[in-house]
Structure formats: C-alpha cells, structure tokens
Amino acid sequence: MIASPTPATIARAAATLRDGGVVAFPTETVYGLGADATNATAVARIFEIKARPRFDPLIVHVADLAAWHSLVGGIPAAAHRLAQRFWPGPLTIVLPKSGAIPDLVTAGLPNVAVRMPDHSVALDLIRAAGRPLAAPSANPFGYISPTTAAHVEDLIGSHVALVLDGGPCRVGLESTVVSFADEGPTLLRPGGIALEDIEAVIGAVDVPATGARPLAPGQLPRHYAPRTPLVLIGSPRDVAPAARSRAALLACAPQPDVDGFAQVVILTADGDLRQAAVNLFAAMRTLDGAGHARIYAVAIDAHGLGRAIMDRLRRAAAM
Ligand code: TXA
Ligand code: MG
C-alpha cells in the first residue's frame, strides 16, 4: 500500500521495521526496500522478496555519524573527509565491519557498506526505527531500479506492507560505492556522485578496469536490465531504416536523423546529465512496457555523471 509520509505513517513504518518487517521508502537516489540491519531474519525477507542471490551484500543506511562509527571497525581520515563532504548524499563507503551487522547483510564479507541518504523521509524513518536500515533498491533482482512509489508498488507492492511515497527521486541513479577495505580507495560502483568530485576531496581513487570485475560482489555484467533487448549505439545513423519501425531510440540529448523509429525518448533538451540521470530509469521502464522488439540507446562520454549512466546502460545491454 502506498502511503504519503506523515508522522503517523512514519511511526507505523518504524514499528513494522522494529517488529522485523520490511518497508519500502524513498531516498534521493532510488527507492529502497528496508529492514532492520541488525536483525538477520528481517534481512532474509529482503532477499526473498527481491529473489536476490545471497552473495550480493546490502547497503546499510544511517541517519548520523555516531551510528556509522558503531557499525565499522575504524574510519580512515580520507573516508571521514568524504562523509563530511558528501553525507547526507549518494555516496556509500565500504569499511571493515564491527560485530553489530549480521553476516547475511554483508554476504559473509568482513566489510560493510554504509551511507546516509539525503531524503528527509528516509532520515525520519531511520531515526523513528532507532536502527540502521539495510536497504537494496526496491526492485526484483536484476531489473531497473524504481524512482517513484508507483514503480515500487507495481514491482513488489504485494510483498510489502507499506510503500512510503516521497515523490520522484531527485538523483535517479544509485549511490557511488567507494571501498576503503583494502589498500587505497577503490571505486566499486559509479553512481550519483561523480568520481571527479570524490578525487577532488581525497586524491586518486583506484578504478578497476571493466572486465576485472565483478570485484564488487553483486556487480554482475547484466543488471538494471529491461526485458526488451537493449543495444548501445554511437549514433542513430548506426540503425538501418528497415530496423527502425519495431525499435525505440533512447538518448540523453537531442539527436539528428531519428526518422522511422517507432518511439523516440530524449532524456533532456540540452544534454544536462543530472536531468538525464533523473529520467533514465523511468524512461527505460516506459520503453520496456511499450512492446518494442529492441531499444537502441545512444552512448555518451563516461565523464562525470556520464560514467554512472554508461555503467547502467552497459549492464542493461549485456546479454
Ligand atoms: O543508492 C543506493 O545505493 C540504493 C539506495 C536504496 O540507497 N541502494 C542500492 O542497493 O543501490 P543495491 O543493493 O541495489 O546495491 C548495493 C551494492 C551491491 O550490489 C554491491 O555492489 C555494493 O553495493 N555493496 C554492498 N555491500 C558491500 C560490501 N560489503 N562490500 C562491497 N560492496 C558492497
Ligand atoms: Mg539494486
């Protein structure tokens, strides 16, 4: 059931979480499917609802730095600087875990991923529950992440007691994941905060070559995927006229030569990547539901937010 967030519905959601239930809630990136991160039985429900493999660890959400301290073994200065600069916000930091977090949350890894979401409903809910919340994106495993409460209701509504509606997500892509668990800082997943902005705060971050993955557990080649085959192209000109009538075109910015496609979705009028990120997943869902034989997506430069957008498009295109 979708509920607008009021003190009463947030209190009800918090009580459900304390009782070991699961609740869907908004964050600035995508909607999350939350459970008490300290309760392994509650967390097991998340894996069931998502049909998520148990080797894929969950991000733990906190509302204050004290909670973060209690979940990790120790915090290097650089990790602290990132939290100061980007929290609350779309950055997840991986560090060796303390005993507070059950192994199921971290898929048996000795490290835990933590972030402080930048959404008042999420923060109010964490505070009201009085627990850190384990929350993956609120979609069946491998499918496109939901950026509205209606998407969540469509995808998994029958399995959750409550979907708190915080409106459309302001960022639209999942958080950037940076690990300090090994030697130097390492980018495990590009996301809502650009790598360049992180490097401006802590210096060089190791970026494993694609193909050297999956080094972030759960970062499988095929992910964020519509059911309709999605193909990456350099330009609409790469698609022959005869192939266009049963295909859709998806692009971040206006394109030349788009005649003949069954549907054309342009994410922004001016190529602003923030706006493209906000609209990307909803557009993929819409196109996926339209019955096209194929979705052609125009590639962009992998700089700034373009890195995360291209990461999601590549995974959606992987066979
Ligand atoms: O923006 C987001 O991060 C959203 C919202 C709901 O916060 N959450 C999200 O969670 O995207 P999820 O489960 O869809 O993706 C979590 C990913 C895992 O697949 C894995 O790559 C990484 O975060 N991760 C989580 N725990 C980790 C750990 N202990 N070590 C390494 N990577 C981890
Ligand atoms: Mg996900």
Torsion of CA 20, 25, 31, 35, to 10 degrees: -10
CA pair distance 202, 199, nearest whole angstrom = 5
Pairing of strands 294-298, 230-233: parallel
CA pair distance 302, 20, nearest whole angstrom = 41
Per-residue b or e along 39-54, where b marks 16 or more CB atoms closer than 10 Å to that residue's CB: bbebbebbbebbebee
pLDDT of residue 222: 78
pLDDT of residue 54: 84
Pocket of ligand 1 (CB under 6 A): 27, 29-30, 32, 56-59, 90, 92, 94, 106, 109, 111-113, 117, 135-137, 174-175, 177, 179, 188-189, 216-219
Helix/strand/coil for 107: coil
pLDDT of residue 61: 99
CA pair distance 6, 191, nearest whole angstrom = 30
Radius of gyration of the chain (CA): 19
pLDDT of residue 223: 80
Helix/strand/coil for 297: strand
The closest of 130, 176, 171 to 26, measured between CA atoms, is 171
25 CA from centroid of ligand 2 (Å): 14
112 CA from centroid of ligand 2 (Å): 16
Q: For residue 220, give the amino acid letter.
A: L
Q: Kindly give the number of the ligand 1 atom that is closest to the alpha carbon of 171.
A: 1
- What pTM was estimated for this model as a whole? 0.95
Q: Over the chain (319 residues), what is each successive 10-residue block's mean pLDDT?
A: 97 98 98 98 96 91 98 96 98 96 95 98 98 97 95 96 97 98 93 98 91 59 87 97 97 97 98 97 96 98 97 91
